[in-house]
């Protein structure tokens, strides 16, 4: 995670961090920060991403340790390319805890909306 | 200089209040994360892959029932109902919210517990034999000395910013179950010419450069313990490398400077420091020896125990594997393994913690120990109480007869929790345990020590496993290196890498081939895997791990 990642149209990225007060993983989205990685903003341009990262760093009253990381465009939103990010987006493999519970809640809400 | 603090509850409360104020200042923006990080680390608060993590000290693994119940309460009120025993005899909670940690620390303070010096470049939790004060092969109970070291090192002004973390282990038994050679300082209580003292080891450690410690003093009289340890650590504090984090542990200092040079410096410093110790430490030791006096053991028949063994096969096999010989006739130490096949090694639910607290109160002289292999021990149990304990453990899913067997695996949190991980370790442990249960080979294989780490920091002590497994990231894919021939106990040894790593789904098949080869080549059922490895060398085992491709 130490190498700075530079997003391009071919290799886009997302900005992710942890929620300061509670600790869970969050992703930068259009209206702030979300616990649903599928809603993350996908950055394809270095300058725009850098500016957004600066903004994220400035929001240290909300989040801890923001960083830019590679993601790919998926049918339902950005998807992880490295397994570390895949685990951050899912949660641990030994229990149904972490972001996977958020995703389940999102899916249930969507299902009840139709 | 040493001063005795009888009960540090006030100090611990004070530290908790301080941390509450620091969290408030972080939340209102008066502290940046860069300023706050070292403060939270001083209180055992890490930021992990999915959440914050709180590491709580369990000094030398000794914990009483009320403290255990408090951990159960924290698991339910502030976590997801469980905690994780670590190889350093501590407990970690994986899901606390930063805003709730001050409350957790207050609650811990109410039972004399804390998270101080569970992180950072300080002297960490002093570890010891989980059977201290109970083991049949023990010369002297190491806990009074461990407590002396704990109270001396807590908040020791000179040693708050060492070049790197510093770990001390101490044992008083013939068999070293505290892994003294794998610690920055290791102490073995010994007797010489009728005098009690220590054999002092220095410079052991695993991580990216695994090294076993070396003897720096054959015999240190017990009265000189603190002065000598202070001399070692202050010498290291000055000459340890602060320019490179990976070369900052004392093992590198000793290795680069040479044991003789280092020892000469330590001895000189010792001569100076010794003058500053005026006996307060010895008075404290006398108090601690009283505090750790043996409980009132009872003299009762064990007929009921023998009868139950004769008629209940499951009980018999549990007593065969999960008891440790006690120094008092009619007693045993009970190993409660947190290694149920398919479960996460070392995870304990709140209900299980409460059950242990109840059992310790009812049958175990109110004493509990967290072991470095992520289990819990009831050190003093009369054998006549074993059938009742077994029945209670069985109901809680904790009566698995697997202490020291294939499924008694040590595993660090790995990529399922740890921000530093390069691969997962927990599911590998779960799958190995389940595999050898399902194929029925676990009992036949017998004593075996498998250890898994999720990165080269080696928190799972993989170098000391008879079979060690290290998870790495090879070009974005999990890959596992296998080491063979490590040992922490009988003949301490660092395992040797067997060859190329295996992808995630090939680890269980590889271990399966390895253990089947062992069953083929062992002399008889009493020859353990490690013994066969020592007798035959790595060749037959490597051949099993890396079979020649069949020629068409
Ligand atoms: C999940 C958070 C954890 C983090 C961030 C962490 C980090 C580290 C690091 C960086 C080291 C290497 C230090 C060095 O070589 O200088 C280390 C060593 C160690 N850790 Fe952890 N660790 C974690 C959890 C654990 C757990 C859960 C255990 C026990 C199961 C553990 C037991 C150890 C031990 C025994 C060592 C010493 C290895 C040696 O001899 O060098 N750690 N840890
Ligand atoms: S060995 Fe690595 S992955 Fe495992 S707990 Fe330690 S730092 Fe984390």
Which CATH number does B8-109 carry?
3.30.70
Task: Return the sign of the alpha-carbon dihedral for residues B304, B306, B312, B317.
Answer: positive
A60 close contact with B: CB closer than 8 A? yes
The closest residue, in CA terms, to atom 6 on ligand 1 is B459
- Distance to chain B for A113, nearest Cα, Å: 29
How confident is the model over A4-33, as a mean pLDDT? 94
Strand pairing partners for B205? B211
How far is Cα B220 from Cα B189, in angstroms, rounded to an integer?
A: 9
Residue from B51, B346, B427 to probe the interface with A (highest A Cβ count within 10 Å): B51
Domain B305-395 CATH class label: alpha beta
CB atoms within 10 A of CB B92: 24
How far is Cα A88 from Cα B358, in angstroms, rounded to an integer?
A: 38
Nearest to B47 among A60, A65, A87 (CB): A65
How far is Cα B197 from Cα B220, in angstroms, rounded to an integer?
A: 5
Query: Closest ligand 2 atom to the C-alpha of B455?
Result: 2
Which CATH number does B410-545 carry?
3.30.413.10
Query: Closest ligand 2 atom to the C-alpha of B458?
Result: 1
DSSP β-ladder status, A25-29 and A32-34 = antiparallel
B458 CA from centroid of ligand 1 (Å): 6
Residues B299-308: contacts with CB within 8 Å, 24+ apart?
B299/B329, B299/B330, B300/B330, B300/B382, B300/B384, B301/B330, B301/B384, B302/B330, B302/B382, B302/B383, B302/B384, B303/B384, B304/B384, B304/B387, B305/B383, B305/B384, B305/B386, B305/B387, B308/B386, B308/B387
Output phi, psi for A54, to 5 deg. -60, -40
Query: Closest ligand 1 atom to the C-alpha of B458?
Result: 38
Nearest to A61 among B29, B50, B51 (CB): B29
Which CATH number does B142-291 carry?
3.30.413.10
3-state SS of B241-275 is CCCCHHHCCHHHHHHHHCHHHHHHHHHHHHHHHHC
Torsion angle defined by CA atoms of residues B491, B494, B496 and B497, in that order, rounded to the nearest 10 degrees: 150
* Beta-carbon separation of A94 and B32 below 8 A: no
B459 CA from centroid of ligand 2 (Å): 5
Tokens (6 digits) for B497:
């890498």
- Report chain A's C-alpha Rg in angstroms: 14
User: How do residues A45-103 score in pLDDT, each as one tens digit?
Assistant: 999 999 999 999 999 999 999 999 999 999 999 999 999 999 999 999 999 999 888 87
Output phi, psi for B29, to 5 deg. 90, -5
**A105 pLDDT tier (thresholds 50, 70, 90):** confident
Nearest to A23 among B33, B52, B347 (CB): B52
A35 close contact with B: CB closer than 8 A? no
Element (H, E) at B214: strand B214-221
CB atoms within 10 A of CB B260: 8
Give me the tens of pLDDT residue by residue for chain B, a chain 552 residues long: 344 444 467 888 998 999 999 999 999 999 999 999 999 998 999 999 999 999 999 999 999 999 999 999 999 999 999 999 998 889 999 999 999 999 999 999 999 898 888 888 888 889 999 999 999 999 999 999 999 999 898 888 899 899 999 999 999 999 999 999 999 999 999 999 999 999 999 999 998 899 999 999 999 999 999 999 999 999 999 988 899 888 999 999 999 999 999 999 999 999 999 998 888 889 999 999 999 999 999 999 999 999 999 999 999 999 999 999 999 999 999 999 999 999 999 999 999 999 999 999 999 999 999 999 999 999 999 999 999 999 999 999 999 999 999 999 999 999 999 999 999 999 999 999 999 999 999 999 999 999 999 999 999 999 999 999 999 999 999 999 999 999 988 889 999 999 999 999 999 999 999 999 999 999 999 999 999 999 999 999 999 999 977 654
Residue list, ligand 2 pocket, CB within 6 Å: B 412-414, 418, 420-421, 453-455, 457-460
Tokens (6 digits) for B301:
């028949």
Task: State residue B119's pLDDT score.
Answer: 85
* Beta-carbon separation of A95 and B424 below 8 A: no
- Report which bound ligand comes closest to the CA of B84: 1
Domains B142-291 and B410-545 share a fold: yes
Output phi, psi for B179, to 5 deg. 55, 50
- Distance to chain A for B49, nearest Cα, Å: 6
Closest CA to B547 of B502, B505, B504: B502
Output phi, psi for B194, to 5 deg. 75, 5
Q: Are B334 and B381 in contact (CB under 8 A)?
A: yes
How far is Cα A57 from Cα B427, in angstroms, rounded to an integer?
A: 35
How far is Cα B117 from Cα B123, in angstroms, rounded to an integer?
A: 7
Output phi, psi for B157, to 5 deg. -55, -40
B415 close contact with A: CB closer than 8 A? yes
CB-based contacts of B549: which residues, under 8 Å, 6+ apart?
A: none
Task: State residue A112's pLDDT score.
Answer: 64
Residues in A closer than 8 angstroms to B51, CB to CB, are 18, 22-24, 98
pTM: 0.93
Residue from A24, A27, A95 to probe the interface with B (highest B Cβ count within 10 Å): A95
CB-based contacts of B533: which residues, under 8 Å, 6+ apart?
A: B466, B484, B485, B518, B541
- Identify the closest residue of chain A to B417 by CA–CA distance: A92
3-state SS of A13-58 is EEEEEEECCCCCEEEEECCEEECCHHHCCCECCHHHHHHHHHHHHH
Please state, rounded to an integer, the average pLDDT across all residues of chain A.
90
Tokens (6 digits) for B532:
């066969």
* Beta-carbon separation of A94 and B415 below 8 A: no
**How many residue pairs from chains A and B have C-beta atoms closer than 8 A?**
74
Residues in A closer than 8 angstroms to B49, CB to CB, are 84, 87-88
A12 close contact with B: CB closer than 8 A? no
Q: Which residue has the tokens 């009840």?
A: A112
How far is Cα A16 from Cα A20, in angstroms, rounded to an integer?
A: 12
How far is Cα B480 from Cα B476, in angstroms, rounded to an integer?
A: 13
Nearest to B426 among A24, A94, A99 (CB): A94
Residue from B29, B50, B81 to probe the interface with A (highest A Cβ count within 10 Å): B50
Tokens (6 digits) for B521:
């080549």
Task: State residue B118's pLDDT score.
Answer: 86
A3 close contact with B: CB closer than 8 A? no
Residues in A closer than 8 angstroms to B421, CB to CB, are 84
SS3 B305: helix
How far is Cα B499 from Cα B454, in angstroms, rounded to an integer?
A: 18
List, edge to edge, every strand of the sheet that includes B45-47.
B45-47, B52-56, B91-93, B82-85, B347-349
How buried is residue B191: exposed, middle or buried, by Cβ count under 10 Å (0-12/13-18/19+)?
Answer: exposed
| CA distances for B542 relative to B56, B470, B530, angstroms | 40, 17, 14
Q: Are B36 and B93 in contact (CB under 8 A)?
A: no
Task: State residue B278's pLDDT score.
Answer: 85
Query: Closest ligand 2 atom to the C-alpha of B417?
Result: 8
B344 close contact with A: CB closer than 8 A? yes
- Distance to chain A for B98, nearest Cα, Å: 5
Find the DSSP H helices in B413-506: 426-438, 442-445
User: In chain B, what are the domain boundaries?
Assistant: 8-109, 142-291, 305-395, 410-545
Element (H, E) at B304: helix B303-311
N- to C-terminal Cα separation, chain A: 40
| CA distances for A71 relative to A76, B284, B479, angstroms | 13, 59, 22
Element (H, E) at B202: strand B195-202
- Report chain B's C-alpha Rg in angstroms: 23
- Distance to chain B for A81, nearest Cα, Å: 9
How far is Cα B498 from Cα B543, in angstroms, rounded to an integer?
A: 10
Q: Name the residue of B55, B94, B165, B453 to mutate for ligand 2: max ligand atoms within 8 A of Cβ.
A: B453
How far is Cα B336 from Cα B51, in angstroms, rounded to an integer?
A: 29
Task: Judge whether residue A114 has pLDDT over 90.
Answer: no
Tokens (6 digits) for A104:
């389940």
* Beta-carbon separation of A84 and B430 below 8 A: no
Query: Closest ligand 1 atom to the C-alpha of B460?
Result: 30
The closest residue, in CA terms, to atom 2 on ligand 2 is B455
């Amino acid at each position: 995670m130490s190498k700075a990642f530079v997003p391009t149209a071919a290799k886009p990225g997302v900005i992710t961090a942890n929620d300061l007060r509670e600790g869970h993983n969050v992703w930068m989205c259009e209206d702030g920060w979300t616990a649903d990685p599928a809603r993350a903003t996908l950055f394809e341009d270095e300058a725009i991403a850098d500016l957004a990262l600066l903004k994220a760093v400035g929001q240290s009253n909300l989040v801890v340790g923001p960083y830019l990381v590679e993601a790919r465009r998926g049918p339902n939103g950005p998807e992880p390319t490295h397994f570390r990010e895949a685990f951050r987006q899912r949660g641990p493999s030994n229990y149904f805890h972490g972001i996977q519970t958020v995703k389940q809640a999102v899916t249930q809400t969507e299902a009840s909306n139709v | 200089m040493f001063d005795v603090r009888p009960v540090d509850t006030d100090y611990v409360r004070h530290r908790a209040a301080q941390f509450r104020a620091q969290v408030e200042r972080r939340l209102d923006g008066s502290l940046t994360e860069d300023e706050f990080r070292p403060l939270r680390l001083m209180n055992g608060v890490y930021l992990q892959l999915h959440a914050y993590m709180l590491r709580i000290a369990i000094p030398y693994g000794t914990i009483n029932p009320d403290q255990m119940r408090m951990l159960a309460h924290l698991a339910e009120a502030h976590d997801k109902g469980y905690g994780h025993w670590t190889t350093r005899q501590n407990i970690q909670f994986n899901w606390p919210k930063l805003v709730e940690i001050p409350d957790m620390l207050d609650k811990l303070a109410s039972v004399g517990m804390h998270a101080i010096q569970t992180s950072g470049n300080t002297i960490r939790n002093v570890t010891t034999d989980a059977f201290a004060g109970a083991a049949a092969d023990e010369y002297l109970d190491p806990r009074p000395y461990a407590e002396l070291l704990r109270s001396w090192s807590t908040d020791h002004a000179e040693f708050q910013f060492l070049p790197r973390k510093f770990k001390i282990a101490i044992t008083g038994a013939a068999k070293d179950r505290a892994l003294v050679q794998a610690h920055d300082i290791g102490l073995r209580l010994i007797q010489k010419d009728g005098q009690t003292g220590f054999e002092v080891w220095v410079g052991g450690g695993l991580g990216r450069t695994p090294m076993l410690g070396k003897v720096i003093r054959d015999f240190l009289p017990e009265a000189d313990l603190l002065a000598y340890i202070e001399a070692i650590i202050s010498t290291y504090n000055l000459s340890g490398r602060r320019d490179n984090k990976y070369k900052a542990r004392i093992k590198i200092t000793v290795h680069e400077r040479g044991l003789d040079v280092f020892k000469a410096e330590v001895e000189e410093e010792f001569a100076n420091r010794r003058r500053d110790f005026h006996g307060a430490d010895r008075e404290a030791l006398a108090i601690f020896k009283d505090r750790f006096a043996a409980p009132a053991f009872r003299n009762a028949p064990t007929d009921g125990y023998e009868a139950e063994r004769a008629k209940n096969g499951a009980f018999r096999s549990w007593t065969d594997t999960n008891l440790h010989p006690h120094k008092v006739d009619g007693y045993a130490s009970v190993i409660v393994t947190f290694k149920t096949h398919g479960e996460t090694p070392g995870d304990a639910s709140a209900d299980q913690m409460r059950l242990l607290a109840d059992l310790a109160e009812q049958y175990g002289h109110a004493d509990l120990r967290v072991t470095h292999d992520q289990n819990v021990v009831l050190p003093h149990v009369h054998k006549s109480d074993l059938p009742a304990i077994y029945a209670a453990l069985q109901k809680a899913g904790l009566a698995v007869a697997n202490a020291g067997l294939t499924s008694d695996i040590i595993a660090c949190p790995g990529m399922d929790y740890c921000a530093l991980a390069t691969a997962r370790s927990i599911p590998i442990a779960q799958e190995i345990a389940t595999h050898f249960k399902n194929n029925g080979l676990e009992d036949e294989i017998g004593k075996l020590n498998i250890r898994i780490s999720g990165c080269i920091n080696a928190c799972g002590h993989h170098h000391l496993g008879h079979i060690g497994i290290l998870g790495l990231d090879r070009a974005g894919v999990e890959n596992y290196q296998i080491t063979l021939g490590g040992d922490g106990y009988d003949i301490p040894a660092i395992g040797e890498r067997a060859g190329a790593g295996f992808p995630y789904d090939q680890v269980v098949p590889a271990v399966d081939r390895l253990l089947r080869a062992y069953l083929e080549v062992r002399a008889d059922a009493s020859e353990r895997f490690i013994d066969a490895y020592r007798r035959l060398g790595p060749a037959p085992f490597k051949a099993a791990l890396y079979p020649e491709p069949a020629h068409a």
